[in-house]
């Protein structure tokens, strides 16, 4: 399988924050969920990919080209959480501008999505759009110029559950083409669990893991231990550990093996939120 996106050892240094040795690979035809706490470095990573920030070190390859190659503009569809560029325009004016910017801009698809799918108002200025309308417009724009890679920063935040579901289906539809792929940053972990094939978790500027979702959710387990039980667990079996007042949660890999080894301990299947919480708040080692 070819990779749509390869990030190798990327470093970006800000005065009070550093992205450290970021690595990630997004295979064609797949969706990579990009998760992490507020301020973990997701948007900074995305800005590096889009060449909006200069790398201090490392390499990024997008669709087989160096990420600085200007021809990539046509092949990448982008949705940012906050975007005020089009505030003084309406949908018609945006269409006219996009026709000049993208060589493969499809006005018919754009209007179909804006009107039929998303019911966006034709004449309203974008600054008068609600947050949900803003996101829908951004998604319609990203999907109307034959992009092969979508880079989406919080595309479903602020949307109601019904619209969110509809948009997730659009993303799933998009990757039915085996040459298409998506990098999807989101705090809504149920969205990620629903549609991602792979998950990259970034914490304080470093990638903690970048793995297939099935591997993560099937292989990882959380052992709910008493303090006494926890003291008997081999250190090498512990990926992360979070102590509560009277109990200890321990994140382990190879869930089935661990269940047999520690028969008396309750083993839960973790959600992405559980895994992030254990890593963020507990003691951990990088896996
Ligand atoms: N241009 C900049 N100059 C200095 N620091 C910056 C700049 N851009 C981002 N940062 C810092 O980088 C860190 C990571 O921010 P970033 O926006 O990448 O996080 P995030 O994971 O996208 O967070 P959120 O989920 O809240 O959107 C933050 O501490 C932020 O203040």
Provide the whole-model pTM.
Answer: 0.91
Dist. CA 60 → ligand 1 center (Å): 19
At 1, the pLDDT band (50, 70, 90 cuts) reads low
Q: Say yes or no: 168 and 226 in one domain.
A: no
Cβ(40) – ligand 1 distance below 6 Å: yes
Taking the centre of ligand 1 as the mean of its atom positions, its distance from the CA of residue 14, in whole angstroms, is 9
C-beta of 85 in contact with ligand 1 (< 6 A): no
pLDDT band at 285 (very low <50, low <70, confident <90, very high): low
The pLDDT assigned to 235 comes to 92
Q: What pLDDT, on a 0 to 100 scale, did the predictor assign at position 252?
A: 94
pLDDT, tens only, 126-167: 989 888 888 899 999 999 999 999 999 998 887 889 889 989
CATH number of the domain where residue 189 is located: 3.40.50.300
Residue 76 confidence (pLDDT): 96
Domain boundary among 176, 198, 213: 213
CATH of residue 274's domain is 3.30.70
Atom of ligand 1 nearest to the CA of 41: 18
**Within this chain, do residues 152 and 19 fall inside the same structural domain, yes or no?**
yes
269 and 136 in a common domain: no
Answer yes or no: is 274 within a domain.
Answer: yes
Q: What is the pLDDT of residues 176-217, one digit of tens each?
A: 999 999 999 999 999 999 999 999 999 999 999 999 999 888
pLDDT in tens, 13-24: 999 999 999 999
Closest atom of ligand 1 relative to the 40 alpha carbon: 21
ipTM of this model?
0.97
Ligand 1: centre distance to CA 42 (Å): 8
CB-ligand 1 contact for 36 (6 Å cutoff): yes
- Total domains in the chain come to 2
Domain boundary among 178, 213, 248: 213
> What confidence tens digit (pLDDT) does each residue in 16-64 have?
999 999 999 999 999 999 999 999 999 999 999 999 999 999 999 999 9
* pLDDT at residue 287 is higher than 80: no
Look at residue 94 and tell me whether its pLDDT is greater than 80: yes
pLDDT at 202: 95
Same domain, 21 and 96: yes
Instruction: Indicate if ligand 1 lies below 6 Å from the C-beta of 64.
Output: no
Q: Residue 84's pLDDT is what?
A: 67
Q: What is the mean pLDDT of the chain?
A: 92
How far away, in angstroms, is 173 Cα from ligand 1 center? 31
Measured from the CB, is residue 155 less than 6 Å from ligand 1?
Answer: no
DSSP string, the chain: --EEEEEEEEEEEETTEEEEEEEEEEETT-EEEEE--TTSSHHHHHHHHTTSS--SEEEEEETTEETT-GGGGGGEEEE-S---TTTT--HHHHHHHHHHH-TT--HHHHHIIIIIIT---SSS-GGGS-HHHHHHHHHHHHTSS--SEEEEESTTTT--HHHHHHHHHHHHHHTTSTT-EEEEE-S-HHHHHHH-SEEEEEETTEEEEEEEHHHHHHH-EEEEEEHHHHHTS-GGG-SEEEE-SSEEEEEESSHHHHHHHTTTSEEEPPPHHHHHHHHHHSEE---
């Amino acid at each position: 399988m070819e990779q749509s996106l390869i990030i190798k050892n990327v470093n970006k240094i800000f005065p009070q924050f550093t992205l450290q040795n970021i690595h990630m690979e997004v295979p064609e035809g797949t969706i990579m969920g990009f998760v992490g706490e507020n301020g973990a470095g997701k948007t900074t990573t995305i800005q590096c990919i889009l060449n909006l920030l200069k790398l201090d070190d490392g390499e990024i390859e997008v669709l087989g080209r160096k990420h600085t190659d200007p021809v990539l503009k046509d092949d990448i569809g982008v949705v940012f959480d906050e975007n005020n560029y089009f505030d003084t325009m309406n949908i018609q004016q945006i269409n006219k501008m996009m026709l000049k910017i993208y060589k493969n801009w499809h006005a018919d698809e754009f209007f179909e999505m804006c009107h039929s799918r998303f019911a966006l108002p034709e004449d309203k200025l974008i600054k008068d759009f609600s947050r949900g309308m803003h996101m829908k417009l951004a998604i319609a724009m990203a999907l109307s110029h034959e992009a092969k890679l979508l880079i989406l920063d919080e595309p479903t935040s602020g949307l109601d559950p019904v619209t969110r579901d509809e948009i997730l289906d659009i993303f799933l539809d998009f990757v039915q083409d085996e040459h298409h792929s998506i990098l999807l940053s989101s705090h809504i972990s149920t969205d990620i669990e629903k549609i991602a094939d792979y998950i990259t978790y970034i914490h304080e500027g470093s990638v903690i893991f970048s793995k297939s979702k099935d591997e993560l959710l099937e292989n990882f387990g959380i052992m709910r231990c008493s303090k006494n039980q926890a003291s008997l667990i081999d250190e090498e079996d512990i990926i992360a550990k979070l102590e509560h007042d009277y109990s200890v949660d321990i994140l382990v890999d190879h869930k089935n093996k661990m269940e047999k080894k520690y028969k008396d301990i309750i083993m839960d299947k973790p959600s992405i939120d559980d895994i992030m919480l254990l890593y963020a708040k507990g003691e951990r080692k990088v896996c």
